[in-house]
Amino acid sequence: MPERLAETLMDLWTPLIILWITLPSCVYTAPMNQAHVLTTGSPLELSRQSEDMRILSRSKRGWVWNQMFVLEEFSGPEPILVGRLHTDLDPGSKKIKYILSGDGAGTIFQINDITGDIHAIKRLDREEKAEYTLTAQAVDFETNKPLEPPSEFIIKVQDINDNAPEFLNGPYHATVPEMSILGTSVTNVTATDADDPVYGNSAKLVYSILEGQPYFSIEPETAIIKTALPNMDREAKEEYLVVIQAKDMGGHSGGLSGTTTLTVTLTDVNDNPPKFAQSLYHFSVPEDVVLGTAIGRVKANDQDIGENAQSSYDIIDGDGTALFEITSDAQAQDGVIRLRKPLDFETKKSYTLKVEAANIHIDPRFSSRGPFKDTATVKIVVEDADEPPVFSSPTYLLEVHENAALNSVIGQVTARDPDITSSPIRFSIDRHTDLERQFNINADDGKITLATPLDRELSVWHNITIIATEIRNHSQISRVPVAIKVLDVNDNAPEFASEYEAFLCENGKPGQVIQTVSAMDKDDPKNGHFFLYSLLPEMVNNPNFTIKKNEDNSLSILAKHNGFNRQKQEVYLLPIVISDSGNPPLSSTSTLTIRVCGCSNDGVVQSCNVEAYVLPIGLSMGALIAILACIILLLVIVVLFVTLRRHKNEPLIIKDDEDVRENIIRYDDEGGGEEDTEAFDIATLQNPDGINGFLPRKDIKPDLQFMPRQGLAPVPNGVDVDEFINVRLHEADNDPTAPPYDSIQIYGYEGRGSVAGSLSSLESTTSDSDQNFDYLSDWGPRFKRLGELYSVGESDKET
């Protein structure tokens, strides 16, 4: 501690000693009569040229001082003297005044206007401001007139070692690969010192390591950190903390220092092989496990990290290499053993595998450390499980003829229980695959029989599913597809491939092919179809047509002669017998219709109707269509004309759906006699005396309402019907609400006091009528019976 205090005092007094040594040399007195300034402590140039001097000559001048110096951070009881200003014009009579202006004038620096002494009144810091530019001038004390031009000078702040080095970017982090060689560069650091790097050694830095040895070293001047030990192992220690110091004054005693930390992390390299945690693994698996299921996991540990720890797993030996596989799990870094093929406890109960784990990324620099792989043994024990039945074949193909008898055996499926207990098996058909129930199966032996007849022409293939179920455990079932092919038998006779209709020209030539026909057979013989064509025995010597077999299994019909006439015979029917080549052969007779038609000279059919034959030769089909169109147009015009005329003559009757008539007359009803009053309203005629009021018409709906007409005087009871009707007719004719057309009115009143009396034939006790009802026999059996009844009644009356 005393030594450091002495060094600090020495640093402070050294500039003062230097200043004290140089002060005597700073005093310079210019010759008299020269307009210059004498400066003490720090020289200042103040030049003045006499206003009256007109002679241009070089003046002899003394030393020119334009800067002064002052120590930073200096503090004392009195302001520090920086320098003194003086001019030759000052005889000491105190008539000259000194003025100071510029940076810090009056606030930091003060001048004695009489003596010219400049003092620093505040503590200065070079790191804040290193120099100040000021201006000095001598003026008349009383008039303040300038005696000389102003002179500019600089006050520089001299540095002292008052700032310690700093690491502005700290703390630091760096990485270096593990197992690096000695002297591998890690990183470099930088410290800064705010002191003046030009003046003294205040900013000269030297670096050193305080903590972190002996693992790392640092270059004193460049601050480059390097490894100090070779082959540092990350697995032993991954992170190191290094404390770095920067000291100024070139590292000598009394210098200031600063520190920072550097964290060095060793990065991983692949310098460690994988290693299984155990040399032997045991796993057990049921024999009915699903393929692809994970049976177990094995893991080889690797002290490295990241991709350097990644390993691939393989089965390199064992008796289960075909049944098992191993895959690598990149996330868990282990190997997963899975089942590739089905297991059978009854066949083999255990397996042994040899598994290898090897690093994927190998660093050749460390290949000498040995193989980066490891092996382990895996034993897998198969456990017995209740397995479903096993069919003797994964699929079955059966064939059956379409004419097979019902309940005949088509084929058989077999299955067994693979377990040691060997449970009996029961067979059944999945009816979802046999909706029509065409097949049955024996539940005990698996024989498939025919339940309904087959028809190959309807369906060639039948696909069903057979189910095998253990009797002791119904949950254990198996399924197998069975394809049944229906074989063909010759059970369909051949026939025409389509409905043929041939056309024969009247001007045809003998031997001309009228029509070519082909046959079809729903059966499917192995060697293909071969048809035989012939005419009926009674048509072998047909005088008009003959047939010819073609090589393509078709038949041509030819005309034997010419001169066919459609007026004599319009249509010919030619029966043709078609036989197949089956065993036994089948045949059928198809009839070909041949129409005789009129053709053009080049054989184009024009008309096949007999009526068309009698048309004029010069009348074409287009002309005939034009004539028919004109006739239809005339008919339409006539119909429209008649319709319009009828529409004009129709009475203007106002129809209303709500206008319901009471008087409904049915002319096919004989009526109920005098007692029947339900069919119509006869109240008006039954009481003619009381009809004086207004009776609205029911056959019209008048638009205007009129006052009811005055009724006539009451009619005496002995009024005649004829007169009554005339009165009513007169009223109807004069009624203004009546429409301008006739209105039919029906009266059911016969009047009173008629001389003739009742006209009813049913109430007549005597009659001299000689009616004859024989005409009713012509109307039918019922009216004939009615006539007989009336005839009997007449005969009874006569007797």
Identify the residue whose tokens are 């009698």: 614
Question: pLDDT (tens digit, 9 = 90+) per residue, 455-499?
Answer: 988 899 999 999 999 998 888 999 999 999 999 888 888 888 888
DSSP 388-409: PPEESSSSEEEEEETTPPTT-E
Query: What is the pLDDT of the chain when averaged over all its residues?
Result: 77
The span from the CA of 482 to the CA of 398, in Å, is 7
Across 353-357, average pLDDT: 95
Query: Does residue 220 share a domain with residue 294?
Result: no
The span from the CA of 375 to the CA of 368, in Å, is 19
Query: Does residue 299 share a domain with residue 224?
Result: no
pLDDT at 651: 55
From 124, 129, 19, select the one nearest 74 (Cα to Cα).
124
The span from the CA of 125 to the CA of 392, in Å, is 106
Q: Is residue 490 a contact partner of residue 522, using CB atoms and an 8 Å limit?
A: no
Structural domain span for residue 311: 275-383
Query: Does residue 415 share a domain with residue 332?
Result: no
In a domain, 310, yes or no: yes
Looking at the DSSP assignment, which residues form a beta bridge with residue 266? 176
In a domain, 747, yes or no: no
Does residue 152 surpass a pLDDT of 60? yes
Across the beta sheet with 513-520, the strand order is 495-496, 513-520, 554-559, 545-549
Q: Which segment of 179-183, 447-451, 581-585 scores lowest on mean pLDDT?
A: 581-585
Does residue 147 surpass a pLDDT of 60? yes
In a domain, 13, yes or no: no
In a domain, 292, yes or no: yes
Q: Which segment of 74-83, 372-381, 625-634, 684-693 scores lowest on mean pLDDT?
A: 684-693
Tokens of 528: 């293909």
Does residue 328 surpass a pLDDT of 70? yes
Query: Does residue 289 share a domain with residue 237?
Result: no
Burial of 742 (0-12, 13-18, 19+ CB in 10 A): exposed
Top mean pLDDT of 123-127, 135-139, 675-679 is at 135-139
In a domain, 615, yes or no: no
Query: Does residue 369 share a domain with residue 405?
Result: no
Query: Does residue 373 share a domain with residue 305?
Result: yes
In a domain, 686, yes or no: no
Question: pLDDT (tens digit, 9 = 90+) per residue, 248-267?
Answer: 888 888 788 899 999 999 99
Query: Does residue 297 share a domain with residue 216?
Result: no
* Residue 633, φ and ψ in degrees, nearest 5: -65, -40
Does residue 712 surpass a pLDDT of 90? no
Query: Does residue 360 share a domain with residue 295?
Result: yes
> pLDDT band at 764, cuts 50/70/90?
very low
Of the three residues 336, 355, 383, the one that is the final residue of a domain is 383
pLDDT at 54: 33
| Structural domains of the chain, count | 5
* Sign for the pseudo-dihedral over CA of 784, 787, 792, 798: negative
In a domain, 378, yes or no: yes
This prediction's pTM = 0.43
The span from the CA of 444 to the CA of 421, in Å, is 18
Tokens of 111: 């001048």
In a domain, 774, yes or no: no
> pLDDT band at 701, cuts 50/70/90?
very low
Q: Strands 373-383 and 280-286: what pairing?
A: parallel
Looking up residue 213, the CATH number of its domain turns out to be 2.60.40.60
Query: Does residue 543 share a domain with residue 560?
Result: yes
Query: Does residue 219 share a domain with residue 316?
Result: no
Of the three residues 605, 631, 657, the one that is the final residue of a domain is 605
Of the three residues 204, 232, 267, the one that is the final residue of a domain is 267
Question: pLDDT (tens digit, 9 = 90+) per residue, 398-429?
Answer: 999 988 999 999 999 999 988 878 889 999 99
Count CB atoms within 10 A of the CB of residue 311. 23
Query: Does residue 329 share a domain with residue 238?
Result: no
Query: Does residue 305 share a domain with residue 215?
Result: no
